Amino acid sequence: MLALALPAAAQVQAQQPTGSVPTVTGTPRGPYITVNLDVDFVNVRSGPSEYFYPKIGILLRGQTAPALGRSPDGAWIQVYYVGVPGNTGWIYAPNVSLNSTGFLPFVEPPPTPTPPATPTINPTLEAAFVQPQTPTRLPTFTPPAPVENLIFADNSEAASRVPLGLIVLVLGVVGILIAVISFLRGR
């Protein structure tokens, strides 16, 4: 009997707007940069220098980002870059186009980061891997062999031979004569 006493589910109709629906309008956009179309991407760095600050990201061709300021020399632009410490990064100005309706303030660059530590080997740990070398005895002094004086024997039979210099001289003269004869015959 109780089930019969429950009221039937009433139909509910959604509320209809009675006035105009507000439209979302964009807020005025401040200065922003656009990556030039002649480059594939630009590096975003943690500070305004290619050598002293590390890369923290990239922006692709045609991508935009809000510009926050300029470096004191004007060569770098600070942009809003989400996902990095401080949500700011620096881009080299010639790689982007600045669309600014007003003055872009100069921003003092952040301090240069401390270079990463160079890993060194613990000398105690290194000593565990170095094989000890057994010392070798230095050679003892050994006296040189005694010097023998050479004695040249007199060969009396060499006096009866023709001197070698005379043979060379005769062959040279014969060679010159042959050269002169062949030169004269060739004419």
CATH number, domain containing residue 74: 2.30.30.40
- Rg of the chain over all Cα atoms, to the nearest angstrom: 49
Which structural domain, as residue segments, surrounds residue 63?
A: 32-99
- Residues near 105 by beta carbon (within 8 Å), at least 6 away in sequence: 69, 70
In-domain check, residue 176: no
Q: How confident is the model at residue 13 (pLDDT cuts 50, 70, 90)?
A: low
Indicate the number of domains in the chain: 1
pLDDT, residue 180, reads 94
In-domain check, residue 167: no
0.85 surpassed by pTM: no
Structure tokens at 120: 């060194």
In-domain check, residue 90: yes
In-domain check, residue 46: yes
In-domain check, residue 75: yes
Q: Region 11-26: what's the mean pLDDT?
A: 59
Please check the confidence at residue 187 and state whether its pLDDT lies above 70.
no
In-domain check, residue 62: yes
Q: How confident is the model at residue 23 (pLDDT cuts 50, 70, 90)?
A: low
Please check the confidence at residue 34 and state whether its pLDDT lies above 80.
yes
| Strand residues in the chain grouped as ranges (E) | 32-35, 41-45, 55-60, 64-70, 76-80, 88-92, 96-99
Distance CA 15, CA 17 (A): 7
Element housing 3 (H / E): helix 2-5
In-domain check, residue 134: no
pLDDT, residue 177, reads 95
Q: In what order do the strands lie in the sheet with 32-35?
A: 55-60, 41-45, 88-92, 76-80, 64-70, 32-35, 96-99
Q: How confident is the model at residue 86 (pLDDT cuts 50, 70, 90)?
A: confident
